[in-house]
Amino acid sequence: STKIAYSNRGMSLEEDINVTNSYYLETNRAVIHKKPTPIQIVNVNYPKRSAAVITEAYFKQASTTDYNGIYQGKHIDFEAKETKNKTSFPLANIHEHQIRHMNAILKHGGISFFIIRFKEHDETYLYPGEKIVYFWEQQNNDGRKSVPYTSIQKDGVLIPFKYQARIDYLSVVDQLYF
């Protein structure tokens, strides 16, 4: 329906970001793609005169993040997460190897962040990778298992919702990193 085209509701964060990335690509703004889901293929059939069919496969743990690419000559790498929580973003949503990966990207001079959608608030934030890494490492000290919503409001930036660049995160990247 046309309603969906103008509203944030009804589309997943991932769909919104994919639409946004297509728009960025078409307008030559950036080259950023979703990495395919990693799959462990166990069995493939090769029928005559038709395409190979994978008949047994399993989902593998991703070793990196959801998205990466290039913007203004800089390497961009990020993870997208949705939560139904209202007061915090639970760290249980993140895997240790994702933190290690983001840390490595940051150390090599890349831009790395989370895009976090609070579904109940209908808000989507860009939250710097350094902050997530900080809360992750603090877990063992203070026992806190989540990032407070207030911290995401304070150190993150609300991403504007637009018609074509639905989740216009590069406008926030401009503001924070350039």
Give the Cα separation of 147 and 99 in Å (integer).
14
Is 80 a binding residue for Mg ion by CB under 5 A? The answer is: yes
Give the Cα separation of 83 and 164 in Å (integer).
24
Structure token pair of residue 1: 């329906």
* Least distance CB 49 / Mg ion (angstroms): 26
In this complex, which beta carbon is closest to Mg ion, that of residue 79 or of residue 168? 79
Positions 55 through 74 that interact with Mg ion (CB under 5 A): 66
**107 DSSP 8-state letter:** H
Question: What residue has token string 């085209």?
Answer: 5
* Least distance CB 53 / a second copy (angstroms): 6
User: Please, which residues bridge with residue 161 across strands?
Assistant: 167
The region of 79-87, 88-96, 99-107, 116-124 touching Mg ion under the rule CB under 5 A is 79-87
Q: Which does 131 bind (CB under 5 to 8 A by kind): a second copy, Mg ion, none?
A: none
Binding site for a second copy (CB under 8 A): 25, 28, 30-31, 33, 35-39, 41, 51-59, 63-64, 68-75, 77, 101, 104-105, 107-110
* Least distance CB 123 / Mg ion (angstroms): 17
Is 168 a binding residue for Mg ion by CB under 5 A? The answer is: no
Give the Cα separation of 18 and 13 in Å (integer).
9
H or E element: which one contains 76?
strand 74-83
Q: Which does 33 bind (CB under 5 to 8 A by kind): Mg ion, a second copy, none?
A: a second copy
Structure token pair of residue 169: 């995160």
Q: How many helices (H) and strands (E) does the chain have?
A: 6, 10
* Least distance CB 97 / a second copy (angstroms): 11
Structure token pair of residue 22: 């297509």
* Least distance CB 36 / a second copy (angstroms): 4
Interface contacts to Mg ion, rule CB under 5 A: 66, 80
